[in-house]
Structure 1
Amino acid sequence: MLLTAEDIHKSFPLASGEAQPVLSGVSLTLAAGETLALTGESGSGKSTLLHLLAGLDRPNSGTVTLNGAALSGLPDAARAEARRKHIGLIFQQFNLIPSLDVAANLSFQARLAGRHDPEWCEALAARLGLTPLLSAWPETLSGGQQQRLAIGRSLAAKPPLILADEPTGNLDEDNAASVLALMLELTAETGAALVTVTHSPNIAAAMSRRLHLSRGKLA
């Protein structure tokens, strides 16, 4: 298995000093190349679980294992290094770097991972319809163009795992369908596994598997 989460518990402190449980005993597995949708109502713990799978946070108990290594047990610097090398992240808010042009944003993650491939970045730009915009600034792009750039950035280093949090949440229906098709096409081409948090029935239906969170547990 590429990714395993076992008996994950996560809570957050309240102002009262009490702990608010968010995830209660969540376990899942993901094989290489598999696509998985995480669905559930707002507040069910979907984004929290995605952040734990990415090593952006640690569970209170339980383990997240990536490529056979216990990601959740690593110190902050080691988890950041694992993310750079093995995980591509796609966010609803795009999270592009405003001081870098399109070309530099596209190659940013691959350079951090030490796997920058100019030919692959050039091919990604063409596939994503970004070639005429490589010298443009992110703020000049449409929402759909920004999200395509964010997808390209996550795939530039060819990581084995892509984690996406509501990747089409800020897009209209036509752009959402186009971005979804590109994301699935490119992850399949690189052999990456994909986990996406989504409220969209269309995205959930396009994944090979779906898990539903309800009140911090898999239903």
Structure 2
Amino acid sequence: MVIALRNLSKSYETAEGRLEVLRGIDLDLGAGDNVALTGESGSGKSTLLHLVAGLDRPDAGEIVIRGRDISKLDDRGRAAYRRTEVGLVFQQFNLIPSLDVAANIAFHAKLAGRHDPVWENELVERLGVGTLLTRYPEQLSSGQQQRVAIGRTLAARPGLVLADEPTGNLDEANGDAVLDLMLSLSKGTGSTLLMVTHSQKLADRLDRQLHLRSGKIA
């Protein structure tokens, strides 16, 4: 089992009091699973992804990734987990302004010790960013930045890919191409894909769908 969530809960303090966002989530995902996470705004989808990514800690419960509870790791341990085991495709691109597109795409793979120029060239071609390699993030449109961010994530061939609306800044053709690439990686390498999406069309292309409602899996 790649992901095992047990009785996972998370809440935040607000001006109106404590807000329960996740309430006792249980979830198992295996190698090669590709799963769409759907739900209304505020249902807890992004919060769940952030917890699995090690970007936040739960109030209660376990987040077991390949047999290790990452919620028990300190900040350094969780940073190492994100660097070596998980690929993040979030709505914030977080490209490095001082690096050109080619260096941005290679960055995560080099950190993880999995730099593969042949695979990176394939990603560049399939993402359609070959003419952008010497440009810097500020010279790119939001859609181009999204494709570069996805390339950077996939270049390291992570065993777990967490994606939050990964095609939200792309037109339909590029969105389909990006999802094709992510599914190809999942099927070809056995990586696990958990993707938040509001698009039923995209959700229908994944093998399984989970719906969050009021902090629980419906």
Q: Which residue is 2:79 aligned to?
A: 80
Is this contact kept in 1: 2:10–2:60, CA < 8 A?
Answer: yes
For 2:46, give the aligned amino acid. Answer: S
Residues 1:139 and 2:142 aligned together = no
Question: What percent identity do the matched residue pairs reach?
Answer: 58
Distance in 1 (CA, whole Å) between partners of 2:62 and 2:49 is: 13
**Structure 1 range deviating more: 163-172 or 177-186:** 177-186
- The unaligned stretches of length 5 or more in structure 2 are none
Aligned pairs for 1:126-205 within 5 A: 126-205=125-204
Q: Which residue is 1:13 aligned to?
A: 13
For 1:25, give the aligned amino acid. Answer: G
Q: Which residue is 1:96 aligned to?
A: 95
Distance in 2 (CA, whole Å) between partners of 1:144 and 1:21 is: 34
Is this contact kept in 2: 1:92–1:168, CA < 8 A?
Answer: no
Is this contact kept in 1: 2:34–2:186, CA < 8 A?
Answer: no
Distance in 1 (CA, whole Å) between partners of 2:179 and 2:148 is: 13
Q: Deviations over 1:52-72 (max 9, x none)?
A: 011111100000011111111
- The unaligned stretches of length 5 or more in structure 1 are none
Q: Aligned-residue CA RMSD in angstroms? A: 1.5
Is this contact kept in 1: 2:108–2:152, CA < 8 A?
Answer: yes
Query: Structure 1 length as normaliser, TM-score?
Result: 0.93
Distance in 2 (CA, whole Å) between partners of 1:69 and 1:21 is: 25
Query: Structure 2 length as normaliser, TM-score?
Result: 0.94
Distance in 2 (CA, whole Å) between partners of 1:98 and 1:187 is: 29
Q: Which residue is 1:115 aligned to?
A: 114
**Structure 1 range deviating more: 178-187 or 84-93:** 178-187
**Structure 1 range deviating more: 49-58 or 123-132:** 123-132
**Structure 1 range deviating more: 84-93 or 140-149:** 140-149
